[in-house]
Amino acid sequence: MSEKQIYYVRRRGHTAGPWAFDKLQAEVSLRKLGRHHEISEDKVTWFHAGELVGLFPAVEVHKTVGRPSKDFSTNDEASAEKELVLETSEEEQWYCAIDNEQHGPMSLAALRQFLLNGQCALDDLVWRDGFSEWVPAESIPELIAEMDPNHLARANDREEETRLIELPPRQCVAAQASLILGGCLLLVSWIPLFGFLGIAPIVIALVAFRQINASKGQLHGNGSAVVGVVLGLVSITVAVVVLIVGVTFWARQ
């Protein structure tokens, strides 16, 4: 690997770089660059960051030799042939990519708990040392063993739930403005000049209706807008009546 080699990184559809290898290592240490992110040397050919040799620390493997049983006889050549030699590794370290953010390392049991808790979805990507690429969690038999897939969420379900939580229905500002302005103008509608301004809350209410209809349920306030329209009409009516009475009274003088 050349020290002068530069790389481009693509995360969440955005490309950063050019970066030297040291910069990539710094991003990994800050957990801003995961194995699932894409890297390119020419912005044409892209590959997963986990495939770049030396960028991520390797998982250490230890070998343990199983001890013979207590009744093992060194004089029994037949028993000697049955001696069991175990080669085991440290508990496998798993990673999962949730909303383009890498989580891990964690044990298989911890990753399974992520699934049960709904933090990780069936179609979210997971990876461990030995995999050539990230794969959906539902494709790992030992991960979803004895788990009912019907009770587990998928990423699009989680995103929809998150969207609804982050954007709860809220009061339309234009509807509130129409209600407040209509009430204020009604109080001074005996002054024709202000009474005729009752057209303003009506116009604002129409804007509110348009915003509420376009919000797909995220805005409410139709009732406030309707009251604003009524108050505006009453203000105009009062102004007209006062003006007619005033003109009639002046004409009789």
DSSP 154-201: -HHHHHHHHHHHHS--EE-HHHHHHHHHHHHHHHTTTSHHHHGGGHHH
Q: Evaluate whether residue 57 is within a structural domain.
A: no
Q: Evaluate whether residue 67 is within a structural domain.
A: no
- 94 and 158 together in one domain: yes
- 20: pLDDT strictly greater than 80: yes
Task: Give the least confident one: 8-17, 48-57, 77-86, 112-121.
Answer: 77-86
Domain containing 225: what range? 170-248
pLDDT for the residue numbered 67: 35
Q: Evaluate whether residue 192 is within a structural domain.
A: yes
Q: Evaluate whether residue 65 is within a structural domain.
A: no
Q: Evaluate whether residue 61 is within a structural domain.
A: no
- 202 and 225 together in one domain: yes
In angstroms, the CA 245 to CA 237 distance is 12
Q: Evaluate whether residue 21 is within a structural domain.
A: yes
pLDDT for the residue numbered 200: 93
- Contact assessment for residue 13 and residue 25, using Cβ atoms and an 8 Å cutoff: no
- Decide: helix, strand or coil at residue 101: strand
- 6: pLDDT strictly greater than 60: yes
- 75: pLDDT strictly greater than 90: no
- 175 and 151 together in one domain: no
The pLDDT tens digits of the residues spanning 228-237 come to 999 999 999 9
Of residues 156 and 138, the one with the higher pLDDT is 138
In angstroms, the CA 45 to CA 24 distance is 18
In angstroms, the CA 105 to CA 15 distance is 26
| Whether the model pTM is above 0.75 | no
- 141 and 175 together in one domain: no
pLDDT for the residue numbered 180: 94
Q: Evaluate whether residue 59 is within a structural domain.
A: no
- 128 and 182 together in one domain: no
Domain count, the chain: 3
Q: Evaluate whether residue 58 is within a structural domain.
A: no
Reported confidence tier of residue 66, pLDDT bands at 50, 70, 90? very low
Reported confidence tier of residue 57, pLDDT bands at 50, 70, 90? low
Reported confidence tier of residue 207, pLDDT bands at 50, 70, 90? very high
Reported confidence tier of residue 164, pLDDT bands at 50, 70, 90? very low
